[in-house]
Structure formats: structure tokens, C-alpha cells
Structure 1
Amino acid sequence: METANSVRLLDRLTGRMVPPPDGRVPLGRYMIPPDEHTLLLDTRRAAPGDYLVGRERNWLLQADQRTWWSGDFGHRPLPDPLVVDNVLKVGDTVTEALKRGAPLAEWISTPAVVTDTDGRLRPHPLEDRIRAELGFLRAVCRTPHARLRTEHTLVPVSRARSITWRTVVHLSAHSETWAARRLRGVEPAQLLTPVRVPDYDLYENRVVAALVDRLWQHVLARSAELESIASMVERGQDLLSEAAARSSWRGRARLYEMISRLLDGQKFDEEIEQLRDQLSALRNALAPQLDSRLRKGVHTPYDGRPELRPTNLFLNDANYRHSRDLWNAWVKLRGKGDANTDPHARMAAWCRSFAQFVLLLVVQALDELGLQAEPELTVESLDPDELRLRYRYHADALWLSRHSDDTFVLRLRGRQVLRMVPLPHALTASGDPEEITSWLAKLATTNREPLVIFYPGEPAERERLPIHLRLAVHGVHGGWGSSGPATPTFVPVSPSDIDSVARVGRLLRAALVGPVLAEFPVRVPCRAEFVARVAKSLNWVEPGRNEVIVVRPPSPEELDAMPSSIDQLGLTTSHARQRGDHQQKVTGLVRALHDGAETTRRLLRCPICSRLPTRSDQAFQRRGDTYRCACDHCGSIWETRRCVKCSDRYPVLTTTDSEGKIGGDGDRLDRTFAQDLLAAPCWKRTRSYLCPACGYCAEARPDFKREDCARCAPE
């Protein structure tokens, strides 16, 4: 028998087994663990690897009849239907390609943007029915049928027309309704009088009230969908001028493909404007019905079966009959598909497809960064639920692994540089700052590893948030600080956001390049009595305390001569010689110096074009414990700076296209820098940058705080 204490769920955020939660949880955070076959999701048997899902907003997990947990996913756990439908299509395409073992080059070309814009811009059949039946619906809302109900109301005596036994009881118990007390009795000032009032809370009216609410939600969803497409088209037009400047030919090709899908057709703008006018007219016509006599008089709109009962009003009253026909049209065109779909299966499919969508974005971003997939080891299947992709990153192997819990790990030279968790919860869809803040607090972890959470989010949702929340829900820093990120990095992605691939590319560039560039200076442990001799023999190192410090990349000739220089130093003492460890110490020191030199030489490789400079002695400039390097091929400049607040060193990248441009929130960085950025520039001064580890800006110090900066000015 399963007990409450023995039940555990897999927390995808931390990768640990935890007790089932109660109350409000993010959609997609928890999974049924392996080898678990006794739990029920509502009344359905849960299989290992299933997501903790429910019926739209609510969830119920049962171990037995006496042990269960329940809760909800908040106000709006799912994004707009436009996003859901396209993510489901992408998920199906990627899943089918992986099942049949298709090569990476085939399924990486799957478009990660909305592909059915033409169909979305055509008028929905339901909207035609709304326009046809709107006059009858308006008549029902304005003059609904009602039954008379008797209520007792306290009125002045002059207005009282009849009394009942309740009148006498109320008068005797409430002296405040007396006008005077006479010898013969009480002279009343007010009497509780029966009156007839209309009661609009009929079955037919509750159906019409529910119909008004659902039609209103349909029009709002269609308007939001239209604005998403319009924003994509506008962004696609802007990208036409930017595409030619992209350094990667892969990025240019994919960007042109996206733009061609968005801007196909000469009447695109006309169709958007025409549909916007039609939806605006429908909103204006439906809005008064939300405040009509019928809607106010109905306490609880109908929430029953789609099939309506054949009542006298629905059969014999023309206005109600047409309203019933409009209800049936809504069921057929909008509600029937949802009603026939298992809500658990739909939400589970959404969670799986969102993970596949994120996988597609990651491999497309790696491709845009110029990483080459190993042809003989492109896809390596560990089991049906896991996947490994191997890339060639300069001279090293880079592995992208997808685990059975639909999380991704990026490893370089055997070291984990990034862990990615696709969280299929629309964190910003509600637009409520308090609710979003609560979600961010729930998703905070104590793990010190670089952790990224991908979630479905739209630019329009972020524009309505306060500036501090906009920065919190869209931040790309890569997590290379020595102290590690205090909270996960949140990255919004969506098929209706054309900057999603570039945003993911910037994240991956920061994760791969950032730690490498921040490894200067490299410190090599060395015995104290040998430090001075090594530093004197090798002019590319300096002495430290029980260590030597590699302060510049040695030339190939200097690196080749290093072993013989160390051998000739006679580093060991007589005591060391007696132990016979002279050769072992020399070999270990040579190996450590060689590794340190190779680490420093990686700093010379351009993060943009991946080329090495012609003259490394001219390209590399040391500045104390930081450095500056320039590429003589593409003109990019990269350097490290030290934060005056947390003392972390962080890399800064400047390209010929980004030079002189100020920073801003995440969406501005997407539009201005795409993936060619490491630390974000100051919002007011182009030569200042924000520390990725603590977020501090040098321009925000107390003696020089800019009052006109939206980021650092006091609220």
C-alpha cells in the first residue's frame, strides 16, 4: 500500500525527488518518477515520466482513496492558442524526425516561427455567425425574459400597498422603524412590504450569459493573436535591413527564410488592417452586453453540457432561438474540439511539445553560432527518452544532452557549463505584477549551478510590466560569475517572437565564451622555492605566492621551448633528490604550465569569427589582472573587466555593428545586438557595462547616479 510519506515526484528544476506539493504549482515543474505505477492523475493511471497536469487550471494526484494532493496552476498557465497550436506542430515534427532517426540537418530546418499566418488572418467562421446573429443576442440581453419573485422591502408607510405576517413581526422587532408610540399602539414610519421583482436567473438566460462571456473571450483571443502576427510582421520588416549585416551565413539564411514566411504576399498589411477593423467592431458590439440587464441579473453563467435542453423559450421565442443557434455554432466551431479532447492529454502534449520546441531553438542557435555537428556522431540514442548531440567547438568536443525529464545539459571539455529547463508555464500571461513576483519566488533554487528556465512569453506581455520585473523575466547572462547565479535565468521564447533564436544564441555564446574569457590570469601551483626561477626562465609568467601566474599567451616557439627550460633549472633540493621525485615534479610542473598556456591561448580566438590573430603579441594587451584583445579580421574587441562591487571579472564583447550602442531591457538587447553580446551595456553610457554576476553598473554608484536612467534611478 502506497503511503503519503513514500510518494515522491521528480522536481525538474532541481533534478531531485521531493514530496508531492499542495496548492499552486507551476505547470510542468513536476513529473511522475521512474518505476512509479501506483499514482493517479484525477482518475487516470499515471505512467512514469508523465507530467503533473490536470484539467486546465486544476490538478489532483491520488495515491489511494485516503491519500491525495490537489492544487491549481494559477490564472493563465497556457499561452494564447496561436502559440499552443504552433508549438504542438513543431513538437510533432521534431518527435517524428527523432523517432525515425532523421539526421540533424533535416529537422533543424523546421521553422520555429508561426507558419499558418495566412489562415489566421482569414475571418473565423464563428465571427461571421456572430455578426449574423448579433441583433437577436442584443435583444435578449436588453429585454430578457424573467419570472416574478416576491421580495420583502422596507418602504415608507405612504408607499406601502399591502402587508403580510412578516410585516408585523418585523415592526415589533425593530423599533427604529417606529414614528411614534401612541396610547393605542405604535405608529410606524416604515413597513416591510411584499413587492414583485423580476428574476432573470433562468436556465435560458444563464446559457446566454455564458455565450456572451465565451464570445467575448474568443474576440479578445483573436485580437491578441492578430497583434502577435502584426508584431512579427513589423519585426520581420525591420530585420530586412539587419539580415545582411549578420556575420554568420547560417544566421542570414535562416533569418531570410523566417522573413519570407512572414512577408509572403503583397496584401499582408491590408489583411491585418481589415481583420483588425472587423475584430474592433465585434468588440464594440459585444462590450455593452457584458454590462446588460441580463448579464447583471444572472448570478452564475451556464457551465454544463454543450447540448442544450429544448425549452419553450429556445423553441418559440425568435430572439432566444437565434441565440441558441449561435451557441450551437460556438460549440461546433470552437468548443467541440476542446470538449472531445482529453484535457490531461492536451496539457501533457503541450508540455512535451514545448520541450521539443526549446530543443529546436537550441540546435538552431548552435548552428547560427557556427558550431559544426560531428557527422559520424550526430545523434546518439541512449534510450528512447534521451538524446546526445556532439559538436566540434574549436578543438574541443561539445555535448548537448537531453535527459528523460525533458531537461538539457551543455558540456564542454567534460564540464557542465549550462543546465536548461523548459518550463511550459506562461509566467507573464496574467500581466499581474504580484502574481508574477510570486511565481519567480517559487522558482528560486539553492543550486549554484548555472540554470536557465525557458518559458513561453510574448513581448507585449513584458512591455506592460514594471521595469524591475521586465529585467527579472528576461535576462541572459550565462552564469560565469565565481559566486554563481542566485536565481535561475529566465528566458522567454515563442513561435510568435522572431527574436527567440537570436536570444537563445546570445545565451549559449555567453555560456560557452564567457567562462573561457574570464579565466585570466591563469594560476599554476608551484613550490615556493622554485617560483622565482620559473618566472625568470619564462617571460610569459610572473611569480606569485606558491604559484606562477600566466600573464600572456606564449607563442608556439616559447611553448615548445618551455620543457627544456624547466629541465635546465635544477629545481629540486637535495632532499627531493634523495626521494627520487625530481623527474616527477618536473613532469607535473611542465604539464601544469602547458595547460595554463593553452588556457591563455584560447583568449586569442575571436568570439565572432573564431579566427586567431596574425600577431598575438599585438592583439593581446594586458591590463593588470584584466586584458583586451582585438580581431584583425572582423574588427571585434573582447576584454575583461572587474566589478567594483562583487570583484568578479566578467568579459565584454564589442563588434563593429554594436559599437556605440547603449543597452536596455532584454527585448532591446534582442533587437540591437542579437546573439553578438556578452555583458550588457549601460542604458546611458556605451563604455560602461553591467556585471553579469551581481547586475551592478558603474554609473549607478552613489556619487554618480544617473537620475534619468530608468534602470538605476530611484522609484
Structure 2
Amino acid sequence: MAHQFWDRVTGARAGRLPARPLLGRYQLTVPGKANGHDAGPHTPVTPTGSGRWSVRMSGSVGEGYFSRDALPDRALAARTVAIANALGAAAHESPAEPGSPDETAYERWVAVPPLATDLIAQLRGVSDDPVDLLEQAIDADLGRLEAVCQRPETRLRPETSVVLLSRTRRMAQDAITYLAAHTEDWQRRSVTGVFPRRLRAIHNDPDPDLYENQAAVQLVDHLIAFLEWRRQKLEATSSVLADLDELAGQLRDRPWRTRHRLARLVGEFANHLDLNDEVRRLLGRTREHRRRLVRLLTSRLYRDRRVSRRTEFSSDLRQTNMFIHHEDYRRVAALWRAWARVRREVGLHFSIAPRAFCNSYDQFVALLVARSMDTLGYQTTTADAPTTGGPDIYYTGPGDDTVVLRIRTDGSVEVNRNDRPLLVCVPLPHPLTANGAPDLLAFVDELDQTRTHADAPRVVVYPGTRQELQALPPRLRARADTVGNDLPGGPGIGLLPATPTEIDSVERMTRALQWARIASDAAQYPPRVHCPKDLLGELAAAGERWLSATTDERHLALERPPTQAERMALRDRVARWRAQRVPPSRRREHHIAADALNEAVEAALVRLHRLAHCPVCGAELGSPRDFHARSGTFVASCRRCHNEWGTRSCGSCGTNYPVIQPGNRQTVKGRSDATSGPGNEVLAVPCWQAAVTAAYICPNCGKCGGSAVRSGPECPRCPDSDEWETRR
């Protein structure tokens, strides 16, 4: 099967899959069959329920197994598919009702919250949910279920056995016949007859294997599974509320434009402050109910192996006399019906096909990218919603920056400028951090070995949570949340965790886009244009403060955006130089050089114009005096949001890279603090050490700017950076 698989991560063809492929990484390149079903190009290779995969293409056959961790978590898959369904409905729904403002398909599509619909319902306080009704039924009737399990009703079943005469209450019909044939059960004989020692007797044995008891035993199992599902859901809700609280706490210390954006993000979901106590109460009640149900696993009824567990019950129990007239069993039946309604309407046992999950996660990542564009101040007039392989979405942002969002046919999301990719976001629905580090460690080693010579900067977006990241070793924890600009040894493929249960997934994506759109311009600062030597001398003699000659005396460096008068003065000087009398043999060359200089200056000014806009609030500098050139680097300050940004030169490799110094900068305490918060306030990653707040990590060599001047405790990253570089 030579080169018949497409590797989305590396953007290249693959001849064969590894022994344990990652979910959603590889796709078919030609039509064929996947797991026995027809599949077209770019169909992901996914596992069956047993974890096996098989592919047949062009007469070739391949098969293998996925790792056990590759199968998507049921709750994660359901939430991702719910968001994808909402995106599909928004893109195809009819225009707004008469009298209301019309919304385009794109506006409806991007308005879908990137948060799980069940969590949003919880945040909005939905009270008629069947889950709430079941919880109320558990509150009211759990004691009845406990009574049934501890003191079950039984059926008296007659049993015949040979027992001592003293224990005989009722003789069996064949007791005399049995006694006559078994002299060993005689005690003695007399002239009048036989005195028995043991008799064949009938006794009533209690039989718990009733239909009602079978239902009660199965209900215990069902309710334990439901409460575990409910606990996970409430813990995810609690995590979202914690994120909202953190964002709300940041409003106080942020510029007003950032406060406005974060307030919109918080207000999009609910008045979360009123829900914190309620969610904690529900979580505590759920845990207490689960503890009581787990204790029933040792109850008299549950431990009795005579109670059959093979019977399949329908959603509606059969109405028996006990379910109608016995108070305890009647309430158990009501509890069963409440659970059955939840199973039917909520889908507790609903499973998502891996292929559907992969396709849905692709759409989720596309939504994150589109929302991040809005966060960075980009606007579009496109009416159509983004689709895989569909039309491009054009955005215009600060500094008249025009970028294009494109969803490739393989599901990856590309953002480009001037037909050159700025960033490629590759959805990888494999839970890399869900069960420890094995999958992540092997994947990171592979990425670091093949990091260079990609067609564009790449970021792999995978489902991962903060709790999973905190459980990883420090080195892997840092590698599992990076846009690729803080890696020892140079830029590499980034890894960004994003799930429908964490509200800051958009901010993580914003951090990646912020770096992609600014880093390319900052790396070329100051922009240089080729200039004829005699014209260069004239400009130097004129004393233009925003221009300087390079050391090779062949190029002109543009150090800051010019004023209108300065720009007109340069045009006039170039025009006069163009009009100079020169020999006819050089006249054409002279005119071409002047035109080329004007075009190069215009292109360089476009880059300077983008750098002269605040990356945090998007405002343009009010005056060229706010843009300060400093020996190949610059520092600019925004009068509106009081943030500073610019470039720094690495002391190890000499590379210039962009940084942001927020006006309200707080002490950095660790990796999570270095990259947390609003994504548009981070460019180069700050040093992890709290004692050094003005040092940044070079994106080219990965060296920390404070490693040589640090006087306090060692940064937890810096001692390991040499080891990371050696491993490669």
C-alpha cells in the first residue's frame, strides 16, 4: 500500500501505518473500504469497537489495531458531536424571523458556543431536565430501594429433603415408602412398628428470584452508572465555572477593551456566580447517593446469587401486584421509570462512532480558529459558513491586515496571508494525555525529529484538559501546551489542548494565531529595501530620522512608521533621483531601480503598519514618537491600553523575536501562569521563574533570556533545556 495514507500531522503521504496509530491522524488518499464500509478520499482510519482497523485500497489490504486509549471517551465524543450538530444546523437554518435583523450563515455558525451543550444547559439552570427529575426521585425513594435490598420479599417454594424427626413439620407423600426402603433411617423396631430417626419431609424454602427483585438488583447497577456519569458531568461543569470565575477575576486588572471582550465571553453562558453553590450542592448530593448505592452491593438481596441477572427488562416494567400494592416495591418501580426516561431521552448508553467523532472534532477546531479571529479584531463580510474544502473566508484586521481562513479537504484549518500560510491547525482527536504519558511521549519524540522544513508553522490541536496536564511530568507538561515557539533547538510543531469542557480553549488558539500573525513581521524588523548607492548617500545626508543605511551600504532600513510629511519627502527625493540626467544606456536601469525602490518601500511600510498596531487592543499608534527603534529592535507603547510590545534580540543566537509587556504585568509563577490568561496578551513565552519577569524564551534556540542573569532560584525549565536539545 505504497503512499496510500495521508498523514495530517506532517502533511505528507505515508506508505504504512505504525503498529498503534493515533486516532484521526491518517486518512485514505484514494477511494476504498475502511472497516468493511465504503470510504472516499480523506476518510480517517478509525477503530472498530474492538480497536481493530482494516483498509482495502486499489487491491491492497492493510489491517492492525489501535491502542486501547484511542477509543474516544463517551462523554467527550457526545459533547463534540453536539457542537458539530449545532454548527451544521446554524449553517443551514432559515433566515431570522420577520422583524428581526437578518443574520448570515457565517454569523449564526460562529455564534455557536464552543462549550458542550449539556454544560450550557446546566449553566442556564434548566429545571425540567429528566436528569433533575431522576435526582429528585433518588432523593425521595432511595430509602425504599435500600429497604428492598436489605429485606426483600420472597416466594415460599416447597422443597423435599430427609431431616431428623425432631425437625419434621410436614411429611412428604412418599415418606412411608421412603422409610420402608431405608432402614438406616430407623431408630428402632418394635412389635407395633418402626420408630424413625429421620423422615422425608416438606419444608418451604424462601426463593428471592422474583421478577421484582431482579429489577431491583439491576436498578442498583443502573443507578451507580448514572451517578458516575452525573458526577463526571458536574465536575466538568464545576471546572467551567472555575474558568469563568478566573476570567471574571481578571476583568479588574485588564484594559477596558480586554475587559469588554472577557465580559462578553463570561456573559455568553450564564450568571455563573449564582450557580457555583448550586453545582457544589448537586455534586455533593451525587457523591452521597453513589456512596449509599455502593453500600447496597453488599446487601442481602444483591449478594444472593439465586437472583437471576440475565433477564432483559424493557423501559416500562411489567405491572405486578407487588409493584402496584407493596409500598416499597411501588416506589422502586417509580424510580426505575425515572431512570428509563433519562436513558431514553438523554442517551446514557449512546455511543458515538469514532469516524463521527473525528469529523466533529475537525469542525470544533475550525470554530475555535474562527472565534480566535474575532478575538484578535478581525472581521469578515463573508456570508457563507466555513466548510471542508469550501470557499475561503476573508478577514480584515488591525493595520488593514487581510488574511484568509481555509478548511482543507483533510480537515486541517489554514490561515494564510498573501497566499502564504501563516499557521496550519491540525485536529488530532486522539486523547494524548488521557491515560498518562506513553502516547504523548512517543508522539513528541516523533514531532521533534521531523520538526523542520514544514510548509508552514503547524499546531496539533488535541482533546486534553488541565487536570491531565498537571498529572504529567514537568517536561511533558510544557511540551503538551505550546505553539512551538518555546522549544529548545528552534521552532517546532506545537501542541494545543482543546476540549468542549474548557472555556479557555479559544484563548489557547488565540495565542497561536497571535504569534503566527506577528512573528513573521517581527522577524524581518527592521524591513530592508535595496537602494542605489548614490541615492542612499543623498538620503543619509538629508538626515531622515526614520531611515538608516545598513552596514553594507546597499540597503535602506525602515526603523519606524513615517509621518505623512516624511513619506512624501521620500517620494519626492526618489522622484528627483529618477528624473536625473543619466546616459541613455543607463536610463532604463535608472527608472527600474527607482520604481523597484518605491514598490519595496510600500511593501515594507505594510509590515511596519501592522507592527504599529497594538496586538492587545488593535489600536494604531497615535504618534510615531510612540514607536522607538533601538539598534535593530523596537519598543512601542499603546496610549489606550497602556501595554508595550516590540522585539528583543536573543543573547545566545542573535534572533529578534516579538514580546508583549502588559501594563499590569503580574509575577510569573510557573508554566501555566506563563501562558495563561487572554491569548492576545502573549507572544514570546515569558520565563517561568517568578524572580525574572522581563525575560522571555527565544523561539529560535529555546534559550531563556534570564538564564545568564538570574540571581534567584533556578528556573525549572532552564536546567532541562540542554537535556532536551541533546535528546534531539
Residue 386 of structure 1 pairs with residue 390 of structure 2: yes
Residue 489 of structure 1 pairs with residue 488 of structure 2: no
Select which of 432, 439, 445 maps to 1:441: 445
Structure 2 CA distance for partners of 1:75 and 1:39, relative to 1, 3 Å: same
**What is the identity, as a one-letter code, of the residue corresponding to 2:112?**
T
1:35-434, aligned counterparts within 5 Å? 35-36=30-31, 38-41=32-35, 43-56=36-49, 58-63=51-56, 67-75=61-69, 77-79=71-73, 81=75, 83-99=76-92, 102-113=104-115, 114-117=119-122, 118=125, 122=132, 219-243=227-251, 247=255, 252=260, 255-256=263-264, 258-259=266-267, 261-263=269-271, 266=274, 268-281=275-288, 284=291, 344=353, 347-373=354-380, 375=381, 377-379=382-384, 385-393=389-397, 394-430=399-435, 432-434=436-438
C-alpha deviations, 1:628-682, integer Å up to 9, x for none? Answer: 111233322112111122322111112333x2432632466323x4432212222
Select which of 520, 524, 532 maps to 1:519: 524
In our comparison, the structure showing a higher alpha carbon Rg is 2
C-alpha deviations, 1:424-478, integer Å up to 9, x for none? Answer: 1221111x1334312333455444321011111212211222222221111246x
**What is the identity, as a one-letter code, of the residue corresponding to 1:27?**
L
Count how many residue pairs are aligned between Structure 1 and Structure 2. 619
Instruction: Tell whether the 8 Å contact from 1:122 to 1:275 is kept in structure 2 after alignment.
Output: no
Instruction: Tell whether the 8 Å contact from 2:388 to 2:407 is kept in structure 1 after alignment.
Output: no
Q: Return 237-246 or 489-498, whichever deviates more.
A: 237-246
Q: Give TM-score, length-normalised by structure 1.
A: 0.73
Residue 632 of structure 1 pairs with residue 639 of structure 2: yes
Partner of 1:471: 478
Residue 557 of structure 1 pairs with residue 565 of structure 2: yes
Structure 2 CA distance for partners of 1:213 and 1:646, relative to 1, 3 Å: farther
**What is the identity, as a one-letter code, of the residue corresponding to 2:34?**
L
Residue 669 of structure 1 pairs with residue 675 of structure 2: yes
The CA distance in 2 between the partners of 1:280 and 1:247, in whole Å, is 41
Residue 23 of structure 1 pairs with residue 11 of structure 2: no
Instruction: Tell whether the 8 Å contact from 2:44 to 2:355 is kept in structure 1 after alignment.
Output: yes
C-alpha deviations, 1:298-335, integer Å up to 9, x for none? Answer: 9xxx9x99789xxxxxxxxxxxxxx9x99999999669
The CA distance in 1 between the partners of 2:357 and 2:409, in whole Å, is 16
Partner of 1:700: 707
CA drift of 1:84 comes to 2.9
CA drift of 1:221 comes to 4.5
C-alpha deviations, 1:174-221, integer Å up to 9, x for none? Answer: xxxxxxxxxxxxxxxxxxxxxxxxxxxxxxxxxx99999997766555
Partner of 1:314: none
Partner of 1:690: 697
Partner of 1:161: none
Instruction: Tell whether the 8 Å contact from 1:365 to 1:504 is kept in structure 2 after alignment.
Output: yes
**What is the identity, as a one-letter code, of the residue corresponding to 2:37?**
R
Look up the SS of the partner of 1:274 in the other structure. Answer: helix
CA drift of 1:582 comes to 2.2
Partner of 1:163: none
Partner of 1:318: none
Look up the SS of the partner of 2:696 in the other structure. Answer: coil
Instruction: Tell whether the 8 Å contact from 2:527 to 2:604 is kept in structure 1 after alignment.
Output: yes
Structure 2 CA distance for partners of 1:572 and 1:508, relative to 1, 3 Å: same
CA drift of 1:613 comes to 2.8
Select which of 610, 630, 650 maps to 1:643: 650
Look up the SS of the partner of 1:391 in the other structure. Answer: strand
**What is the identity, as a one-letter code, of the residue corresponding to 1:600?**
L
The CA distance in 2 between the partners of 1:388 and 1:570, in whole Å, is 41
Sequence identity, in percent? 23
Question: Structure 1 regions of 5+ residues with no counterpart?
Answer: 141-207, 309-322
The CA distance in 2 between the partners of 1:131 and 1:116, in whole Å, is 29
Partner of 2:163: none
Q: Give TM-score, length-normalised by structure 2.
A: 0.72
Question: Structure 2 regions of 5+ residues with no counterpart?
Answer: 95-103, 153-215, 315-331, 724-728
The CA distance in 1 between the partners of 2:457 and 2:400, in whole Å, is 24
The CA distance in 2 between the partners of 1:271 and 1:285, in whole Å, is 21
Select which of 501, 504, 524 maps to 1:499: 504
Look up the SS of the partner of 2:706 in the other structure. Answer: helix
C-alpha deviations, 1:82-102, integer Å up to 9, x for none? Answer: x33332221112123334594
Residue 545 of structure 1 pairs with residue 548 of structure 2: no
Q: Return 561-570 or 355-364, whichever deviates more.
A: 561-570
CA drift of 1:234 comes to 2.6
CA drift of 1:249 comes to 5.6
Look up the SS of the partner of 1:640 in the other structure. Answer: strand
Instruction: Tell whether the 8 Å contact from 1:57 to 1:73 is kept in structure 2 after alignment.
Output: no
Partner of 1:167: none
Look up the SS of the partner of 1:429 in the other structure. Answer: coil
Structure 2 CA distance for partners of 1:349 and 1:626, relative to 1, 3 Å: same
CA drift of 1:287 comes to 6.8
Instruction: Tell whether the 8 Å contact from 1:243 to 1:256 is kept in structure 2 after alignment.
Output: no
The CA distance in 1 between the partners of 2:411 and 2:280, in whole Å, is 40
The CA distance in 1 between the partners of 2:219 and 2:64, in whole Å, is 30
Structure 2 CA distance for partners of 1:505 and 1:337, relative to 1, 3 Å: closer
Instruction: Tell whether the 8 Å contact from 2:403 to 2:417 is kept in structure 1 after alignment.
Output: yes
Instruction: Tell whether the 8 Å contact from 1:396 to 1:413 is kept in structure 2 after alignment.
Output: no
The CA distance in 2 between the partners of 1:648 and 1:306, in whole Å, is 69
**What is the identity, as a one-letter code, of the residue corresponding to 1:438?**
A
Instruction: Tell whether the 8 Å contact from 2:388 to 2:411 is kept in structure 1 after alignment.
Output: no
**What is the identity, as a one-letter code, of the residue corresponding to 2:473?**
P
C-alpha deviations, 1:517-567, integer Å up to 9, x for none? Answer: 332122223456765455435631213326324142233222222243235
Instruction: Tell whether the 8 Å contact from 2:54 to 2:64 is kept in structure 1 after alignment.
Output: yes
Q: Return 592-601 or 459-468, whichever deviates more.
A: 592-601
**What is the identity, as a one-letter code, of the residue corresponding to 2:396?**
R
Structure 2 CA distance for partners of 1:366 and 1:327, relative to 1, 3 Å: same
The CA distance in 1 between the partners of 2:336 and 2:45, in whole Å, is 33
CA drift of 1:251 comes to 7.1
CA drift of 1:365 comes to 1.9
**What is the identity, as a one-letter code, of the residue corresponding to 2:33?**
L
Structure 2 CA distance for partners of 1:548 and 1:62, relative to 1, 3 Å: closer
Partner of 2:463: 456
